[in-house]
Amino acid sequence: FRSQDYDSDKMFPALGFGARLPPDGRVSHEFALNGNPQNPYCHGIDGVMEAYYRSLKSVQLYGPTNFAPVINHVARYAASVKDGSQYFVLLIITDGVISDMAQTKESIVNASKLPMSIIIVGVGPAEFDAMEELDGDVVRISSRGKFAERDIVQFVPFRDYIDRSGNHVLSMARLAKDVLAEIPEQFLSYMRVRGIKPSPAPPPYTPPIHVLQTQI
C-alpha cells in the first residue's frame, strides 16, 4: 500500500476492532493485531498483513462495529504533538455498518483540532451510507452542537474498484491515489490553522576546500 512510502521507518501500529479475544472471550474494539499491546508496531505493510492473518487464528470476529475506540487511541498520540513535527493518519478498513455513530462523530469532532486524518475503506457489499456522512465533504460533521474544526475524514468504497467477480476494474494505483487524495490539504489546513510554518531548509552542503602545498 502506497502509504508506507511516506513513512521513514516503515513501522506501523496495527489495531483490530470487533473481536472476542483469548483466553476469556472478552470483546475488544481496540487490540494489537500482533498480540503485543505494549508494542503493536509491524514492519511494513507485509508485517501488518502477517499480523492480521495470524490474529485470525486466535480471535473470533464479533460485532458490533465500533470506530470510536481506535480513533481515540490515535488521538491520544496526536494530542501530545503540538509543534507540527508529526502528523498521524489512521486507516480504518471495515466490512460492517458502523454501530457507534454518535460516539464516532464526537471522536472525529474532537480529533479535528489535532494533527491527524482518518481514511476509511469500506470492503464488501454492506451499505456504507453512514460513512458518507462521516466523510464530511458535503456537510461538516458535528456532535452535540459542535462542528468539526476541519474535514479530516476520507471514505473510499473498495467495491468501486472491482467487479462482482473480484476483478480489478480500476487500477490499484487509482485506489491509492483516491485514498490519499485529501491528505495533503488536510495536513496543510492543520498547519495553517495553527500558524505552523515550514522549518527553513538547511544550507546547501559546501565541500571543504583543501589547500595543497607544494615545495620546490
SS3 per residue for 38-106? CCCEEEHHHHHHHHHHHHHCCCEECCCCCCHHHHHHHHHHHCCCCCCCCCEEEEEEECCCCCCHHHHHH
Please report whether residue 180 resides in a domain. yes
Instruction: Name the residue range of residue 164's domain.
Output: 64-194
Burial-class residue 112 by CB neighbours within 10 Å (0-12, 13-18, 19+): buried
Please report whether residue 46 resides in a domain. no
Please report whether residue 116 resides in a domain. yes
Give pLDDT, residue 200.
Answer: 79
**Of 69-73, 125-129, 132-136, 199-203, which one has max mean pLDDT?**
69-73
Chain segment 49-106, per-residue pLDDT in tens: 999 999 999 999 998 889 999 999 999 999 999 899 999 999 999 887 889 999 999 9
**Per-residue pLDDT at 107 exceeds 90:** yes
Q: In this structure, are residues 130 and 101 in contact, taking their beta carbons and an 8 Å threshold?
A: yes
Q: Could you tell me the pTM of the whole model?
A: 0.84
Cis peptide before 37 (omega within 30 of 0): no
Give pLDDT, residue 165.
Answer: 65
**Of 74-88, 124-138, 149-163, which one has max mean pLDDT?**
74-88
Q: Is 128 helix (H, G, I), strand (E, B) or coil?
A: coil
How many angstroms separate the CA atoms of 66 and 97, rounded?
9
62, three cell numbers: 464479533
Please report whether residue 50 resides in a domain. no
How many angstroms separate the CA atoms of 120 and 122, rounded?
6
194-212 mean pLDDT: 77
Residues in the chain: 216
Confidence grade of residue 136 (pLDDT, cut at 50, 70, 90) = confident
Instruction: Indicate the average pLDDT of the chain.
Output: 87
Number of domains in the chain: 1
155 against 2, higher pLDDT: 155
Q: Is 159 helix (H, G, I), strand (E, B) or coil?
A: helix
9, three cell numbers: 521507518
Reading phi first (left if > 0) and then psi (alpha if -120 to 50, else beta), residue 84 is in left
Please report whether residue 87 resides in a domain. yes
Non-local (6+) Cβ contacts of 82 within 8 A are none
Hey, how many other C-beta atoms are within 10 angstroms of the C-beta on 105? 23
Please report whether residue 26 resides in a domain. no
In the block, cell 503540538 appears at 82
Give pLDDT, residue 49.
Answer: 93
Give pLDDT, residue 187.
Answer: 95
211 against 19, higher pLDDT: 19
Please report whether residue 147 resides in a domain. yes
How many angstroms separate the CA atoms of 133 and 131, rounded?
5
**Per-residue pLDDT at 215 exceeds 70:** no
Please report whether residue 207 resides in a domain. no
Chain segment 159-189, per-residue pLDDT in tens: 778 766 666 666 777 888 888 999 999 999 9
Confidence grade of residue 196 (pLDDT, cut at 50, 70, 90) = very high
